[in-house]
Amino acid sequence: MRRHPMAVALLGALMCGMLAAWSLARALPQFSDPCHRWGVSFSAGAELNIPPGGPCRAISVTSETKAQAVARLVAINGGLLVAAFLGVLGIALARPRAAVLAAALLLLLSFPLAFSVAWVTALSAGLFLAAAREIAHFEGTAEPAAHLVGLLAALAAVMFIPAVLAGVLFGLFSFAALAFAAAAGWWPAGTMASGSSHP
């Protein structure tokens, strides 16, 4: 039983699950909020009046429609859960390609979350890559795929350097998480991978 890689993968999956739960907890109340306006075109100079005596003291608006919001939630949160499942399954079954695929999916999800919580998905991607490198038979297409994910993470980290230099906190977190994912993608296979054998 490879406890260390599984613990790392479970941590990555837990972060994905918590991020999905946090995202849904923030977004779902807006669908039943009478004081939230959907699909507002700011370029059209729309006027928002608060009816006197109504339940709203203030109105929140977004240019996103309800359909677009649902599609975004399904794509991002569904992607997080799929990545968590693939990552844990890949480590449990000693299939590193599944864990690397989970890392690649999380790295892709980092882009729409670039100005908020991209560091969480990038860190989870790094954890799955690190776990994959510690299981037996890390070979074949898993190795170049991990290198490619690591390279993309490194390129993405470079994009956050201006934010780091400006002292932006989320930029610092994102840069550190992406740098970790890049290192995990290129780090040599661990002792388990090199010394393990089939029972």
Q: What is the pLDDT of residues 156-167, one digit of tens each?
A: 999 999 999 998
pTM value? 0.84
What does pLDDT average to over the chain?
Answer: 86
CA distances (Å), origin 19, targets 94, 106, 132, 160, 193: 26, 12, 22, 21, 30
Indicate whether 130 pLDDT > 60: yes
- How does DSSP classify residue 189? P
What string of DSSP letters covers 109-168? HHTTTTTTTHHHHHHHHHHHHHHHTTSS---TTHHHHHHHHHHHHHHHHHHTHHHHHTT-
Higher pLDDT, 191 or 185: 185
Cα separation, 17 vs 192, whole angstroms = 27
Scan for tokens 């109340």, then name that residue: 29
Scan for tokens 């661990």, then name that residue: 190
Cα separation, 186 vs 149, whole angstroms = 9
